[in-house]
Structure 1
């Protein structure tokens, strides 16, 4: 049975709004529709927009908030653990593998994220064909097993296989489900609900960073990983019964809907996401060691900077999620990307001090939290709900590319240009990534409308 909201959306796609199958979506301009209709326009991409209900539970109700809580916990563990890798990076680089390059050590966390993204592509497809609750539970078991197995590894290769590859594979299920499900369960407070769900990743990164540092100092790295594996597996298993989609497409044979890329606006959005994700992990990975090497602070002080940045990212997710329903998700995505540019290019590049690093932590943490929170909302509002898991899966390819463009080149610059002591070239590279993202977002918005003061 089709919901009335999906009926209205499909009717709009076929009648009230330009449908990509009949006319080029890329040719849409301000002249196409009366000005008063701009606030409600949906930019329909060439994908199957009809969907069927996967459950009799209704949106916007108590059950919907239970789903949000489950997504919150899933992202708190899956992304939170990945965000806390900066502590392991610092520990490996300064203690366990002091003779290895920062580039090689960073590949453990990079592989973790890249496999999470590639796994996310297939997870999006699987979420449209199988019970997401079961997929989430399977992911939880793999997540836990990866860290427990990694606790017995004493080589970078072994850690790359367990903490990197295996964990990324397991975390891809709660990652894609927790990111794409929230928008399906809300029609009124979609931005706020999505922001709350995605704030779990920031909160997870915040407390996981501090907890990981404390566990390593008190129990050692092997037991820190065992505790992390047991906790993550137990918690994600416990909330898996509520990790369910509300809508599934009536027809979906493709793992990746490449037809979306025919829309020039989606191509711009895709490119912007690539550079935004490339910018994401650099500060989280490098600020802890930067604090020790450049500012001569303790390892604990450096990990606390990551904790602070994660805390501000939580605030950014919540604030942007709340405001997205009022001023438009794309507008906020552009504003937060501009704030990220300011924090890195205007503050971190020219200044080298504790005060400046605090300012970078605060501004970048808030900005990047808002960016990751509003990306799925933009995808839902602009390109439709029915195929959102597949759309998010396609964006995960962008995340994968962004992961390759982010930390590895930064670390290579630190090794080969900065000789592991001068972070200048690495910071310059980091700063230019959100600049590129901002350019693509501005182009995307200008293709939609030239009007500035409009909810979009």
Structure 2
């Protein structure tokens, strides 16, 4: 079989949920012939051809063998030493299901996911404003690394809770789980407003909020792909753009609230808004596919797949790099560029806004050029933005270049991660697959901001950001190596939509 045919077989297994060809373990079976075979079995069964008479059984067996031989003549076997199909057993089963509705209700679900992610992830993205306030105003004698653990614990618990939330989403109504998460988020910030120590804030703003946000985080990330096929990338991009838009307006709102009302009331207002908004959209946070109710919290069988392991390791480095600029740009603007506190928070707002553009742009392009190709391209852009503009320079212009390029790139990366998982590893168990990816997110959170902050404290003495920026820049480079290796396990051809 020629190489073009092999690539075609791979692409069908990856992306064609409503294709007229059914791809099974390296074979392309003509759907018409399969229908003929099914019709043959139906007619024979209804006419009572299967009797106890041994001669009739023999005749029947011969006729079935002849039919199978006819079908086999239309089968092309891909040489297994040349190509490995991406489709999992779940994905092959999905090829026979009805395509998603992609109607008005589907877009209502996308809006609900948008709002849920806008508050759950958007608040986490805006933590840089709190980091700046704690570091420079409220707790000036506490190390940067210690303060950064508030936001880090928030994200880590969100990811760790996401592992269990994925399991719960397979067994319980996601609408109820989303509402429970909304209440916990509100309680966390309202109780955190009364805290006056880093430890107490770590328990409320960090741990408790992360636990509550994990429910809308998992639901909002995994549900969009179930409702669309043709516009899957766009729909997922719109839903995930909620986190960027949330980070954008929450950053500005938090900064304004802290200046006008103080940090305690800023947290109370934020908690009330988060709880009310997420509760309001919870009735529409509904899954379309009835999930396979696994007894395991994590589907560890995926670890046996080399391709998934490469993807998981790449995501560890991607997530490690994600929060670095968001957490450090506000204080960097004040300490190094001698700008005001509000200027630094505005840079975070701008970066969140550009991440929204990245999410929507990549959502549109993913359906045209392939989500994995775009994930690799955006990772390259993120690495270059830090290595070329932030490492060697300390000026306002170069920082703006970093904000524009990194913000756009990281938004696209976050948007396309679940699309790649859905296309390559299947939709049926997507909540538990994403739950396993959250294990990678958890490890990435540990490898991200805490080491950066420790380098800033111990090497840069809270004024020199060079070592921290170098560490930040090498993370997307490492992610890129594993993503390229993963792509080569699918095909070595560059002009292939993956």
**Match runs of 1:352-431 below 5 Å:** 352-431=394-473
Identify the residue that residue 145 of structure 1 maps to in structure 2.
187
Identify the residue that residue 230 of structure 1 maps to in structure 2.
272
Quickly say closer, same or farther: Cα 1:130–1:451, change in 2 above 3 A: same
String of CA shifts for 1:243-279, please: whole Å, max 9, x gaps: 0111133452211011111111111100110000000
2:88 and 2:425 in contact (8 A); partners too: yes
Identify the residue that residue 301 of structure 2 maps to in structure 1.
259
Displacement over 2 Å in runs of 4+: 5-18, 27-33, 44-53, 56-59, 248-251
String of CA shifts for 1:117-161, please: whole Å, max 9, x gaps: 000001111111100000000000000000000000000011000
Structure 1 residue 44 and structure 2 residue 95: aligned? no
Query: Which of the residues 238, 242, 248 maps onto 1:200?
Result: 242
Alpha-carbon distance between aligned partners in 2 of 1:28 and 1:76, rounded to the nearest angstrom: 47
String of CA shifts for 1:376-417, please: whole Å, max 9, x gaps: 000000110000001100000000000000000000000000
1:68 and 1:196 in contact (8 A); partners too: yes
Structure 1 residue 280 and structure 2 residue 280: aligned? no
Structure 1 residue 159 and structure 2 residue 170: aligned? no
String of CA shifts for 1:405-442, please: whole Å, max 9, x gaps: 00000000000000000000000000000000000000
Give the deviation of 1:28 after TM superposition: 8.6
Quickly say closer, same or farther: Cα 1:367–1:233, change in 2 above 3 A: same
Give the deviation of 1:52 after TM superposition: 13
1:51 and 1:249 in contact (8 A); partners too: no
Higher CA-based Rg: 2
Structure 1 residue 451 and structure 2 residue 462: aligned? no
SS in 2 for 1:12: strand
Structure 1 residue 345 and structure 2 residue 387: aligned? yes
Range moving further from structure 2, 6-15 or 319-328 = 6-15
**Match runs of 1:11-160 below 5 Å:** 12-13=23-24, 16=27, 31-32=82-83, 43-45=86-88, 50=93, 59-160=101-202
Quickly say closer, same or farther: Cα 1:58–1:48, change in 2 above 3 A: closer
Give the deviation of 1:192 after TM superposition: 0.3
1:182 and 1:194 in contact (8 A); partners too: yes
TM-score normalised to the size of structure 1?
0.91
Quickly say closer, same or farther: Cα 1:357–1:225, change in 2 above 3 A: same
Q: CA RMSD in A?
A: 2.4
Give the deviation of 1:44 after TM superposition: 2.5
Alpha-carbon distance between aligned partners in 1 of 2:281 and 2:268, rounded to the nearest angstrom: 21
> Which structure has more RCO (C-alpha within 8 Å, separation ≥ 6)?
1
Q: What residue ranges of structure 2 are gaps of 5+ in the alignment?
A: 1-15, 30-77
Alpha-carbon distance between aligned partners in 2 of 1:9 and 1:386, rounded to the nearest angstrom: 20
TM-score normalised to the size of structure 2?
0.84
1:49 and 1:249 in contact (8 A); partners too: no
Alpha-carbon distance between aligned partners in 2 of 1:137 and 1:120, rounded to the nearest angstrom: 15
1:125 and 1:393 in contact (8 A); partners too: yes
Alpha-carbon distance between aligned partners in 1 of 2:424 and 2:28, rounded to the nearest angstrom: 12
2:17 and 2:229 in contact (8 A); partners too: no
Alpha-carbon distance between aligned partners in 2 of 1:319 and 1:368, rounded to the nearest angstrom: 12
Q: What residue ranges of structure 1 are gaps of 5+ in the alignment?
A: 19-26, 34-41
